[in-house]
Amino acid sequence: MKLLLTGCAGFIGANFTNYWLDNHAEDTVIGVDCLTYAANLPALARLKTRERFKFYKTNVCHRQAMDKIFQEETPDVVINFAAESHVDRSIEGSRVFVETNVLGTQALLDLCLQYGVRRFHQISTDEVYGDLPIESEEAFTESSPLKPSSPYSASKAAADLLVLSYYRTHGLSVSISRSANNYGKYQHAEKLIPKVIEYALKGKRVPIYGDGLNVRDWIHVDDHCRAIDAIVSGAPSGGVYNVGSGVLLPNIVLVKEILKQLGEDEELIEFVLDRKGHDKKYALHCDKIVAELGWQPQIDFADGLRETIAWYKK
Ligand SMILES: NC(=O)c1ccc[n+]([C@@H]2O[C@H](COP(=O)([O-])OP(=O)(O)OC[C@H]3O[C@@H](n4cnc5c(N)ncnc54)[C@H](O)[C@@H]3O)[C@@H](O)[C@H]2O)c1
């Protein structure tokens, strides 16, 4: 089978490309990435040494160039990791988020229709549901309404709706995974876990938004990769799946744990002005993927975090 993976040089895309090549010995991966600031060039350099991997430096919005790739490569499956992914940047300026996350997805959907791709899988986020009050005991299901808060999550929700519209209107075979916050190797230093590690190791103050009580569900990127595999390999067309670990942590608890593991003082923490529109809490029901596809997270959070910190230190 031939997979086309967009955003293959990003955090999750690079982990997933390695995962797929390691676990599907017969398959070929075509990677597409335009290498924005968020691309991980060392990860890409390593990918380029792998057999059964071919790379195109291309923007998913560039119709002609993408058309040529589809024509030459005739992928069986397309998985869309390419995105502008940082909420703070979407608050500063949202245009590129709409271009890549919405129009980029739309361009890929048209190409999948045109070239008879067997499955288009969209990498989405739990942020499309909006947030819950901190004290809430509820969790979002796949049929919870989409109520995104930030321009980032609004662009992701728009993309999800487009994907489902191509399923309903054109009968395109699609699936969507809505995952919680990922952690692991190759993540850009602007994101919480690598940022805390980097700042602490440099002895810099570690900024935390607001009171630090905002709650996130943290899933190891390898567990997310296994979930995408389960969906792409076994889910019916039109399937939407939440992917979380159930490990819910207030940011302050996570940051203190990282500092403890690094042997650094909690005094490094500096509470800063809260992010505009900051989501309070994310929590996901993941019964559907467990019941239908037999997926379960395998990586214990304490082990995964320890290993991740060791990787960034190195
Ligand atoms: N990181 C998380 O915790 C998380 C959680 C849930 C969902 N997601 C989703 O997973 C996907 C991957 O996230 P990530 O954390 O790996 O992001 P990332 O920012 O690390 O990587 C994105 C990659 O996409 C590439 N890219 C951006 N615009 C492009 C374009 N127009 N054409 C081609 N390539 C382009 C970038 O160069 C980069 O390599 C995104 O869709 C994101 O919304 C991420």
Q: Report if residue 16 sits inside a domain.
A: yes
For ligand 1, say whether the CB of 284 is within 6 Å of any of its atoms.
no
Q: Report if residue 109 sits inside a domain.
A: yes
The pLDDT tens digits of the residues spanning 265-314 come to 999 999 999 999 999 999 999 999 999 999 999 999 999 999 999 999 99
Give me ligand 1 centre to Cα 85, in Å.
5
Q: Report if residue 178 sits inside a domain.
A: yes
Exposed, middle or buried by CB within 10 Å (0-12, 13-18, 19+), for 51? Answer: exposed
Q: Report if residue 19 sits inside a domain.
A: yes
Structural domain count of the chain: 1
Residue with the smallest CA separation from ligand 1 atom 34 is 33
- Paired with 170 in beta bridges are none
Q: Report if residue 264 sits inside a domain.
A: no
pLDDT at 293: 98
Give me the domain span that covers residue 58: 2-183+219-244
Annotated catalytic residue within 33, 84, 126, 264: 126
- Report the CATH number that the domain containing residue 69 is assigned in CATH: 3.40.50.720
CB 91: neighbour CB atoms within 10 A? 15
Residue with the smallest CA separation from ligand 1 atom 42 is 85
The per-residue pLDDT of the chain, averaged, comes to 98
Active site residue 127: yes
What predicted TM-score, i.e. pTM, was given to this entire model?
0.98
Task: Kindly give, in sequence order, each residue whose CB lies less than 8 Å from that of residue 211, ignoring residues fewer than 6 positions away.
Answer: 252, 271
Q: Report if residue 22 sits inside a domain.
A: yes
The pLDDT tens digits of the residues spanning 232-255 come to 999 999 999 999 999 999 999 999
For ligand 1, say whether the CB of 245 is within 6 Å of any of its atoms.
no
Active site residue 88: no
Residue with tokens 């037999």: 294
Q: Report if residue 273 sits inside a domain.
A: no
Q: Report if residue 114 sits inside a domain.
A: yes
